[in-house]
Structure 1
Amino acid sequence: MAELVDRGHRLLVQAGVPTPLNDARLLLADALGCDLHQLDQALLLDRTAEELLTNEGGRRQADGFQSAALDRYRSHLQRRAGREPLQYILGHAYFRYLDLRLGQGVFIPRPETETVVQAGVDALTRVDHPLAVDLCSGSGAIGLSLATEVPGARVRAVEVDKEAYRWGALNAAAQEAAIREVGSDYQLMLADAANAATLSDLDGRADLVISNPPYVPMDAIPSQPEVRDWDPDLALYGGSPDGCLLPCRILDRAMVLLAPGGLLVMEHDASQGPAMVAAALERGYVRARTHRDLTGRDRYLTAWRPAMVLG
């Protein structure tokens, strides 16, 4: 078993994979149909793959099963050495309390976006029967987190790309029971998030608009192959040299969707904090500020639609 991990580790090191040992372990566990804890225990006890594939009753899996598992591992390693994202190979990724299904055509949610979600959760828990809108929803990571973590939340999610929408719909179906258990409601639609007609029935009613829009500057092509070659361009690039064009369109749409006193939470590039604060203030938002993620980089904007002033 240790030899299999070592072989994978060395191959991924040669390919320049940033976390070769971790990836080799995860890929082997997936190929063998066990979890990482079981694999680590087998490694600690110096067990072989054949021993790990022996079931609890002591009966050994068929030789063909073991051969297929090892073939699967070799295939996984070749794909990862080609810098295909680990999450695509495994077919899923964990995000906060969710296990999301992922594959080619959908943006892979990042850990830093979990801080964006937390800002949204904190805001919604202060509102009775809150209504939230998730613009540019992708895999559903943000909106589904809100729907499962905030009891009684009504969440409306919008995604324009058909392939990303397909993955978002799969994840919504997988979380249906969890959403129902906390008394929430989640609906996903295929539409342009910046279009004035999208969710126009909710104009002036949303307590929260939250978004992780495309924001990478057009000339800032990512150096990491997993991002540059695999993440959908539609989910990456912000439509202008500074990457702010699409985020500003989200600012415009959110101002209309929000109820007076409602909150916008929007992720942005680490270089865009001052520009996003300025853009929000220009559009009439108040108390606009940028917040840092766990790595200390500017990561997301919060801004409020002004509360209605009675004469």
Structure 2
Amino acid sequence: MAGQRRELVTQAVAQLAEAGVASPEHDAAELLAHVLGTTRSRLVLVDEVGDDAARQFADLVARRAVREPLQHLTGTAYFRHVELQVGPGVFVPRPETELLAGWAIEQAGALEAPVVLDLCTGSGAIAKAIADELPHARVHAVELDPDAHAWAERNLAGTDVELRLGDLATAFDDLAGTVDVIVCNPPYIPLEAWESVAAEARDHDPHLALFSGADGLDAIRVLEARAALLLRSGGVVGAEHADAQGEAAPAVFAATGRWTDVRDHRDLADRPRFVTARLAR
């Protein structure tokens, strides 16, 4: 079973590509690095891969080929400057969400003692990134799903983030009118779009984190009402949405008359990605 590193990776890349994995070269290298306890950049220093390692690698490649998420296989995801533990039962954070987190960090970073809420925190990715980059911020987070909440507990351990188990629709009554920045990556996929969702997400991410009513905007409507209650006058909210919701998601905020500066933001691929708004004074 042992073999040359280059040959093993080449075979794995072919297997993953045939299975329809979007990034076979990256994933094959990441899996081998994981098995060997090294990094992708240091794989070039490896020539021979022993029997046990080769067997572990083959097993992981086979699981990735049936579209088990890469991060579930390695147990790790990276988000901005922080490392997260992830696995079954929690939404794997996506790189595009880093832009939303960056917006929240920029908004809160301009304040002396900002109060920040991360609603629908999932793995705790956004809350942990904000706490990491803004040590002076008071960061609170909430997650409804008990399994995802357990992952967030692990990831936020050792930080000053206050994590609660609860619903974004009812959480943080005690902070009403005092919050400076609310950030949220809610579920936003329409139920009818089931078939179009990537197998990694559809079959492995919790559905509570994915789907949100017939048009995908149910959670964003709840967020709009909740943010209006929790924010101080002039406070801001930002929420991720699907790229097809670049007009519909901002319209949820604009229609109520409670918000100013309602605007949409594009991701690095120039797709509509998140909406922000300021509570009218």
Please classify the TM superposition score into its range, dividing by the shorter chain length.
over 0.9
Contact 2:220 2:252 in 1 (8 A): no
Give structure 2 stretches of 5+ with no counterpart.
Answer: none
Q: Aligned in 2, Cα 1:155/1:79: closer, same or farther, shift over 3 Å?
A: same
- Residue 204 of structure 1 deviates from its aligned partner by 0.2
Residue aligned with 1:80, SS: helix
Structure ID, larger Rg: 1
Counterparts of residues 128-147 of structure 1 (less than 5 Å):
128-147=112-131
> Using the alignment, how far apart are the partners of 1:11 and 1:276 within structure 2?
39
> Using the alignment, how far apart are the partners of 2:280 and 2:150 within structure 1?
36
Give the aligned CA root-mean-square deviation in angstroms.
Answer: 1.2
Residue aligned with 1:155, SS: strand
Q: Aligned in 2, Cα 1:278/1:14: closer, same or farther, shift over 3 Å?
A: closer
Counterparts of residues 82-161 of structure 1 (less than 5 Å):
82-161=66-145
TM-score (normalizing by structure 2)? 0.95
Alignment counterpart, residue 265 of structure 1, candidates 233, 238, 255: 238
Q: Deviations over 1:43-102 (max 9, x none)?
A: xxxx212xxxxxxxxxxxxxxxx4332221121011101110101101011110011111
Runs of 4+ residues deviating >3 angstroms: none
- Residue 149 of structure 1 deviates from its aligned partner by 0.5
TM-score (normalizing by structure 1)? 0.86
> Using the alignment, how far apart are the partners of 1:291 and 1:281 within structure 2?
15
Counterpart of 1:141 in structure 2: which amino acid?
A: A
Contact 2:187 2:210 in 1 (8 A): yes
Cross-structure match for 2:24: 20
Give structure 1 stretches of 5+ with no counterpart.
Answer: 50-65, 180-184
- Residue 273 of structure 1 deviates from its aligned partner by 2.3
> Using the alignment, how far apart are the partners of 1:268 and 1:231 within structure 2?
17
Residue aligned with 2:181, SS: strand
Q: Deviations over 1:120-167 (max 9, x none)?
A: 011001111100011000011111111111131001100000111111
Counterparts of residues 172-183 of structure 1 (less than 5 Å):
172-173=156-157, 176=158, 179=159
> Using the alignment, how far apart are the partners of 1:275 and 1:11 within structure 2?
40
Cross-structure match for 1:31: 35
Residue aligned with 2:192, SS: coil
